[in-house]
Amino acid sequence: MAKVVKVRGSKTGPVMRYLKEQMAQEEMRKILNGEYIPVYTGDAWHGSSGPIRKREEEEARIAAENRARHAAQEAQFNRNAITLPDPDPPMEPIPDPSPAPEPAQEAQPEPPRSGGWRNIVFDSQILSSLQKCPYYLNLAFMRRLGVEHKAQALESGDLLHTMMKVFYTLKIQRPDLPYEQYIEHSKQIGREKAITLAQELETSEEVSYHFEEYCKFREGEFWIPKAVEKSFTILLHESEEDNLRIYYEGIIDLVVDSEAGEAVVDHKSSRRNMPNPNIELSNQFMGYCYSLGINTAVINKVGFQKTLKPAERFTRVPLSYSNAQLAAWRDNTIWWAKQLAWFVDNNTFPQNFTGCDKYSGCIFGEACKTDPGAAREFVLENHYKELPAWNPHTRDKELDERIARIVQEA
């Protein structure tokens, strides 16, 4: 009976030295004469005795035994597969671990602004101003002071929003009109608005040009407009303990059904591409989504750059919020509203000097640089004017009537 010798290694020299030490001279002669054929199995060398014919017969026998063993194992596996549970069952859908935010209470067109309850009514601009500087909030929103003319960027943005409102309203109310008429009616109303603005007519024509380019670029898109400039007021918090009701309100540019589902849309215009990696951390977008119970917002960018291609000027930035994020925004907003109530109760609005030099500087910088008291009041009275109160439910009445006439006559 031949021996089977296991020798670790992969080179002939070490193998032969090991064999010389372990085997007799007769065995060595058989190896040298070829009666032992080394076969590499991956981790050791095995010697099989006898002539080559005997080695082939042995290999055939082993192969037959292996095939029989594999067949038996497969049969056993098939029998077990009938009775054993699926070792890898399909996964159940993983529910959103975020707790659903409390549903917003029924919207009220006009929240009570006086009576037995103390009512805090505010929007995203007031909330952001409160967080930026309570003194600014007092001047801009409680005393309603501001400059007489808007900056050119704001006027261009207003003009674009006007044409966008006409365009998408007609798409909803007159789906039978040719696409070109949506553009022409929107541009006509844009021209009527342009003559009321302080900016140059050339600038307004440029805005109109980019609007038309946007419409042509977006023709045939899968966006189904559902509501245009949708206003809302929701009861965010009510507490009998401190006799306080907190209302949150606003107006949303557009609500659409898109490829990703229902989304709130805000049109943004600019003359420069300025990426903001934290744009989703915005009171405006989180407030919109919470108030309407929608988890997706889209920033619909319209660039006024002349050197960029339409695909680079007209981009859309999707923002997605979990229920937990929206609930956290609600709780955070309630805390700030209670702070505002304390400021009002104590007639104290502290200044936050860290925001005075941001962007182009605060519009009330000249007032804040003067001594508090009579000198500052003189600056406020002579450099600023009282602006009309803003209400999301009564904005653009004349424009709404103008659009209604187009819907009937077109």
* Cα 168 from Cα 267, distance rounded (Å): 12
Q: What is the CATH number of the domain that holds 161?
A: 3.90.320
Residue 76 pLDDT > 90: no
Q: Are residues 29 and 135 in the same domain?
A: no
Tokens of 370: 């003067």
Please tell me what DSSP assigns to residue 141. I
Q: Are residues 26 and 147 in the same domain?
A: no
Mean per-residue pLDDT over the chain, rounded? 80
Instruction: Decide: 250 and 231 in contact? Cβ < 8 Å.
Output: yes
pLDDT digits (tens, 9 = 90+) for 341-350: 999 999 999 9
Residue 231 pLDDT > 90: yes
Q: Are residues 146 and 63 in the same domain?
A: no
Instruction: Decide: 332 and 301 in contact? Cβ < 8 Å.
Output: no
231 found inside a domain: yes
Q: Residue 102 — φ and ψ, nearest 5°? A: -60, 135
Helix (H) or strand (E) holding 244: strand 244-258
CB-based burial, 352-361: b 16+ in 10 Å, e otherwise? eeebeeeeee
Residue 27 pLDDT > 90: no
39 found inside a domain: yes
Q: How many domains does the chain have?
A: 2
265 found inside a domain: yes
Tokens of 251: 């107006």
pLDDT digits (tens, 9 = 90+) for 86-95: 434 444 444 4
Q: Are residues 180 and 59 in the same domain?
A: no
| Domain limits for position 227 | 118-409
Tokens of 255: 């609500």
Q: Are residues 71 and 145 in the same domain?
A: no
**Higher-confidence position of 5 and 57:** 57
Q: Are residues 268 and 387 in the same domain?
A: yes
Region 233-257 average pLDDT: 94
pLDDT digits (tens, 9 = 90+) for 139-187: 999 999 998 776 777 899 999 999 999 999 999 999 999 999 999 999 9
Q: Are residues 367 and 251 in the same domain?
A: yes
4 found inside a domain: no
CA 253 to chain centre: 17
Domain end call among 83, 103, 135: 83
95 found inside a domain: no
236 found inside a domain: yes
Q: In the Cβ-directed half-sphere of 273, how many Cα atoms lie within 13 Å?
A: 11
pLDDT digits (tens, 9 = 90+) for 159-172: 999 999 999 999 99
Contacts 24+ apart (CB under 8 A), 378-382: 380/139, 380/143, 380/145
Instruction: Decide: 341 and 244 in contact? Cβ < 8 Å.
Output: yes
pLDDT of residue 71: 65
* Cα 258 from Cα 276, distance rounded (Å): 24
Helix (H) or strand (E) holding 189: helix 179-194
* Cα 240 from Cα 243, distance rounded (Å): 5
Q: Structure pTM?
A: 0.70
pLDDT of residue 90: 41
* Cα 210 from Cα 216, distance rounded (Å): 10
pLDDT digits (tens, 9 = 90+) for 274-320: 777 788 999 999 999 999 999 999 999 999 998 899 999 999 999 99
Q: Are residues 289 and 368 in the same domain?
A: yes
pLDDT of residue 10: 44
227 found inside a domain: yes
2 found inside a domain: no
